[in-house]
Amino acid sequence: MLGYFDLPWWGYALAALALTHITIVSVTIFLHRHQSHRALTLHPITSHFFRFWLWLTTGIVTREWVSIHRKHHVKCETPEDPHSPQVFGIREILLKGAEYYRAEAKNTETLESYGHGTPDDWIERKLYSGYPSLGIGLMMVIDLIAFGPIGLTIWAVQMIWIPLFAAGVVNGIGHFWGYRSFVTNDASRNIMPWGVLIGGEELHNNHHAFSASAKLSSRWWELDIGWMYIRLLAVLKLATVRRIAPRMRFTPAKSHCDLTTLQAIVIHRYEVQAKFAKSLLRTAVEEIRSLRRSQATPELRKAGARSAIKLWLQKGMGTLAGKEHAALSQALHSSKILQTIDSMRQELVAFGARSTVSREQLVQQLEDWCRRAEESGILALQQFSRQLRCYG
């Protein structure tokens, strides 16, 4: 026996998966939800275990990771975003995400601006951040002693796990492909079914909608493995949840807007905007098809794809470019129905940003919005308005 553990081939595979799983759990719970967003507090024993394990398996310096992630949220999808595939391209981030991370980690301004509140004790300064490569080397020795020569392969898998799945998949695919439950002001997506491999981080759109939530799942069928571990730690008194995303409450008996309706729309603005886009998508698509049949307009035949219409309903005309923008602009000019949908969408989005009027005035404006929606003659808009009144 060359190593301490003599395992069949599948035993070594399970060992590698278990070791990398502990690493991704350390990233999602300690670095992401605890350190970056303060969504939960950790017992010192738990916190230090995660720090030690990340030092062994990744060499990540807490202050660097947290600073880069916080900057990503503040500068998301702009040239200052450290790793946006919308800016740098999906291929770049997917294949070279770790390189973008290392480059940003050298930016002292990023560390000073976004690294507050991270560990700064003796062991952090003298060991973890002072000698990050030492932990990686120690992990290699441990793997070789435990598993023999194949331990080197297990160690290699450990070394590529975070660069591949965190820096590549989450930062890349998580802002490029997947579904969106919330119309956030970025390109974040939920990607499935990667839960076992990346600990809940695949629910990236949910996270960008409620970044301070310790729980990343929002729909009944979404599985956040990181949240399962947090709940277990909480039962063991090793963690305390501080915040989770609020649930949208629905009261079928309500027929008028009130303050709770307004608060629900403001708090759940990303979800409300997503529901609006989903509710009006079919109506908008059918209206544009009708325009194509009744008008000999080449632009409308070439553009106006379903994805472009959906993007317009979610984020407005400003997010479209080229032929799609020209085609939909012409469609809006030609259709009273599309004009109504567009203006009502803009007004709905604005409710979350108005701060110069009283809450009573906002409630009255919301009630007026619903009245006009129900008098519009657009069935989907009428149904959405009646549902909107029941929020809160």
pLDDT single digits (tens) 166-207: 999 999 999 999 999 999 999 999 998 777 789 999 999 999
**For the chain, what is the mean pLDDT?**
92
Question: Are 225 and 264 within one domain?
Answer: no
**Matching residue, tokens 């601006």:** 113
Question: Are 280 and 378 within one domain?
Answer: yes
Question: Are 38 and 78 within one domain?
Answer: yes
Residue 29 within a domain: yes
Question: Are 270 and 220 within one domain?
Answer: no
Question: Are 293 and 199 within one domain?
Answer: no
Question: Are 237 and 269 within one domain?
Answer: no
Region 91-120: mean pLDDT is: 96
The model's pTM:
0.88
pLDDT single digits (tens) 14-34: 999 999 999 999 999 999 999
Given a cut of 90, whether residue 253 has pLDDT beyond it is no
d(CA 62, CA 30): 9
- Which residue range(s) make up the domain with 327? 259-389
Question: Are 211 and 296 within one domain?
Answer: no
At 76, is the pLDDT very low, low, confident or very high (cuts 50, 70, 90)?
A: very high
pLDDT single digits (tens) 196-213: 789 999 999 999 999 999
Phi-psi region of 78 (alpha: psi -120 to 50; beta: other; left: phi over 0): beta
Q: What is the pLDDT of residue 205?
A: 97
pLDDT single digits (tens) 137-170: 999 999 999 999 999 999 999 999 999 999 999 9
Q: What is the tally of structural domains in the chain? A: 2
Given a cut of 90, whether residue 55 has pLDDT beyond it is yes
d(CA 60, CA 136): 10
At 303, is the pLDDT very low, low, confident or very high (cuts 50, 70, 90)?
A: very low
Q: DSSP string of 108-158?
A: HHHHHHH-TTS--SHHIIIIITT-HHHHHHHHHHHHHHHHTTHHHHHHHHH
